[in-house]
Structure 1
Amino acid sequence: MLTERERERYSRQILLFGEEGQERLKQAKVFIAGAGGLGCPIALYLAVAGVGEIRLVDRDVVDRTNLNRQVLHWEKDLGIPKVRSAEEKLWEVNPDVRIEALEATINEANVHDLAAGADLIVDAMDNFPTRYLLNREAIRSGVPLIHGAIRGFDGQVTTIVPGRTACLECIFPEAPPAEVFPVVGTTPGFIGLIQANEAIKYITGSGDLLAGRLLLWDGLAAKLETFAVERRSGCPACSREVCQ
């Protein structure tokens, strides 16, 4: 049940999707993989929207090079684990939301436990090997995965619904080369908010998800495009032959 304080806090959202939708947000548990450029805006906007439990996982500490884009981390946080820095700000912005901050490297051995009980997995990582682990865990668990990635002024988002849409390995069968990529802070802000919006839509049952569609953002041209993506026969992650 929503408290009177929550009804007041979320009154503008309740006008959109009613108290039932807000209650769904309150009962939801979201696993956000990464507390960096994408993870910060995702976590911030899910917290202020009233998502009841946010599990935030990252292994890194705050570095000065992060501060042009990772908006939950400030100069005073240098050297502090990112999940602790983020947890402090999220608790201050909405003390009614539970934040589970885990300082860990996501790997094959722990990804199942990290995702356990989540209604939704949000990919806020900066490398494809970990994204592939999240993708396969989403398929195993039957939990949707909201993928986002950025580079420079460009970004992409898609929502993967296991058994229904193309998975991440259908869309990107090979990982791009690892690199220290350039990025302007507005790009993860923009892409992260689209991911947060997808999460809110999924939880409340509002609108149309980016399911079976890949959204591409060209920040230099200020252009958004979406492309249909389809399941790939023989995909090592989600094909029927593999999943049987």
Structure 2
Amino acid sequence: MTPHTPPHLSGDETKRYARHLVLKDFGGAGQQALKGSRIAIIGAGGLGSPAIAYLAAAGIGRLGIFDADTVSLSNLQRQIVHSTARIGINKAESAGRFALSLNEHVALELYAERLTGETAQRFLTPYDIVLDGTDNLATRRAVADACEKLQKPLVSGAVSSFSGQLTVFAPHLGGPKHSDVFADEANDDTLPSCEANGILGPVTGVIGTLMAMEAIKLVSGVGTSLIGRLMLYDAKDARFTEIAL
């Protein structure tokens, strides 16, 4: 990550983040790191929603939210940053409104864009860390390729039915590439989709919140990230399993 000069916390921010500031091994340095960070979230849906909520609440300095879709009624069972009143509104715009209502100190960049191989690198260049919660392999591959070229950590989450998975791709830090895990011959037709198979709403909350946690750890340097490890979540059995990549 590119180092930034530690930003000053205002009096209001000191009160807002009081529980972070007294947290051992995090404290003021951790909170300043969050305020100085720039995080891109690709997809403001089931995974992006809890990630956006917790990153905004935590005090990330700048959030870039990318989503070309609009809010629909069937989203609201799991996409918690949206509401019935925002049906038909672009998801990035809707998520931005939620983030600002939660924390006015967070700067936002909203993009009604579907990232492609031609645009991903240009759009993601200003950010330190990228979170990918999209639902198609074409976008995932474009984002992963851009992050690899830009040497930016990529927090990648996915869900289906009663299960989810999470890892961090950072080849420049010694981890595997996205293509090492998702082979070129894999395609969306061979993977389960939420539209066809359904998804239990809180599963997206579990994985999306863990994505926010991984981003915060990477920004602050606290703890050990999931680079080189794949975490699997089984909601039915309330079980987490870890696989070395």
TM-score normalised by length of structure 2: 0.91
Deviations 1:152-173 (A, max 9, x none): 1100000111231012211121
Is the Cα contact below 8 Å between 2:136 and 2:188 reproduced in 1?
no
2:165 pairs with 1:165: no
Match of 1:87 among 76, 93, 96: 96
Is the Cα contact below 8 Å between 1:138 and 1:162 reproduced in 2?
no
2:184 pairs with 1:177: no
2:14 pairs with 1:3: no
Long gaps (5+) in structure 2: 1-7
1:22-171 aligned at under 5 Å gives the runs 22-163=31-172, 164-171=174-181
In 2, the alpha carbon distance for the partners of 1:194 and 1:129 equals 23
How high is the sequence identity, in percent, across the aligned residues? 34
Match of 2:225 among 192, 202, 209: 209
In 2, the alpha carbon distance for the partners of 1:141 and 1:152 equals 33
Is the Cα contact below 8 Å between 1:154 and 1:217 reproduced in 2?
yes
Q: CA RMSD in A?
A: 1.0
Q: How many angstroms does 1:176 deviate by?
A: 4.4
Long gaps (5+) in structure 1: 230-244
Match of 1:192 among 201, 208, 217: 208
SS at 1:220 equivalent: coil
In 1, the alpha carbon distance for the partners of 2:223 and 2:96 equals 30
Residue identity matched to 1:224: F
Residue identity matched to 2:150: S
In 2, the alpha carbon distance for the partners of 1:193 and 1:160 equals 17
In 2, the alpha carbon distance for the partners of 1:201 and 1:32 equals 16
Instruction: Give the stretch that moved more between structures: 175-184 or 6-15.
Output: 175-184
In 2, the alpha carbon distance for the partners of 1:157 and 1:98 equals 26
Match of 1:227 in 2: 243
Instruction: Give the stretch that moved more between structures: 43-52 or 125-134.
Output: 125-134
Task: Count residues with an aligned counterpart.
Answer: 229
In 2, the alpha carbon distance for the partners of 1:7 and 1:67 equals 33
